[in-house]
Structure formats: C-alpha cells, structure tokens
Amino acid sequence: MKRAEKAQRIAGILGDLYPDPPIPLDHADPFTLLIAVLLSAQTTDVMVNRVTPGLFEVAATPEQMAKLTVEEIRSHIQTCGLAPQKAKAIRGLSEILVEEEGGTVPADFAALERLPGVGHKTASVVMAQAFGVPAFPVDTHIHRLADRWGLSDGRNVEKTERDLKRVFPRESWNFLHLQIIYFGREHCPARGHDLSECPICSWAATGKRIREEARKNAPRGGARRS
C-alpha cells in the first residue's frame, strides 16, 4: 500500500474515533495558550492544566507577566519539569511581547520562534490552535506513530513533519495532529503494545515491524524448571 493510500485510510479511522478533538491544554487566548504549550515540554498536559489556573489568576497578559519576577513565576509552575528554565523563558518572552509586539502574540512563525523557550513545535501549536494557520506540530506521540505506521522513517521530527505534510491534505493538518496525539495516548502506547491488535498498527505497520516489537515486548528468559 502506498503512503498516500495508507494516510487516507488512517485519516478515516481517526476521524471516526475523534470527529472533533479538543485542544488538551486549557487556555483563554493566544497568550495563555503560548504559555501552556511552553510549560508542556517534558510535562503532562494534566500537570500543566493544574498549574496554569493559579498562574493566570495572577498574570494572564504579557503586561502582567512581565511585572512578575522569575522567582514569582517559578513558584506557580514548580511542579512542572524544567521549572527554572521555563520561568525565565516566560518572563523573557512576556517582556519582548510588551516591548516589541504591543502586548500581543504575533501570528507569525519566525516571530514566535525568536521568543525565549519557543521552538518550532510550540510555534506550530500556537499558529494552528490560536490562529487557525495550517501547521503540523510533531510531538513524541506523532513522531513515534508516523514511524510505526510507515508514514515516515523516524529519522527526526523535522523529517516526520515534512513527510506527514506530503501525505495529508493541508486543510486537515490542524485537527489531524490532535487526533494522532489522542490515538497515541489511548490506543498506541510506546511500550507493551500489541501491534497485531491495534486498529491501525495491525495493518499499517509492516510484518517485520510487528514481529520486532513483539520480540521486544516478550518476557525475558524462560520459565524456571523445578
């Protein structure tokens, strides 16, 4: 099966499972989404959604956030991974937004990626979910599943993004990346996954890949003899 045919079938299955996938990070506007996505690095969305209400109650705009010290920001996000670095980045990007962007989040990839702590994936999420600009943010779930499904070779996230953009229609990118994330979390874990029973892996993964993962997940060592 060609990649384009495989992608079409996958999109149909994901569309049936997740016809209207919600954005998993709680937010009210582009700025609070930007902060939430930045916080989500090496942290679960559940954890981010626990800490952002307290943070946004104190500072929900770039102007308010820029008035806080790094230590004050850190006190609200300390249960998130990499809290010291994230607090510094949040303070720094808030200052830049106030001083250079009139207190608004720019709907521009290059401008977003110049902000402290904002890489291409974070910028892609903001562009897609806050501004509706077609983008295909690739997180660990998407990178892993694209490789399992034979839609990319898994070499790196940049190549995975390019490969997925080639096989899926541009107008589907913004909701499709959310569908894949939800599918990865609920049906297609990284470890202990039986590909032969998966509604997508069972036919999208190669027979070789299914056998390799079955061997990797098999119990080590034989049964002990009495």
Catalytic center residues: 121, 139
Nearest to 108 by CA among 94, 123, 90, 89: 123
Cβ neighbors of 98 (< 8 A, separation 6 or more) are 62, 63, 66
Q: How many residues does the chain have?
A: 226
Residue for token pair 């295909």: 136
How many other CB atoms are found less than 10 A from the CB of residue 221?
6
Cβ neighbors of 180 (< 8 A, separation 6 or more) are 14, 141, 142, 145, 146
Tokens read off for 123: 């910028």
Please state whether 102 falls in left (phi above 0), alpha (psi between -120 and 50) or beta: left
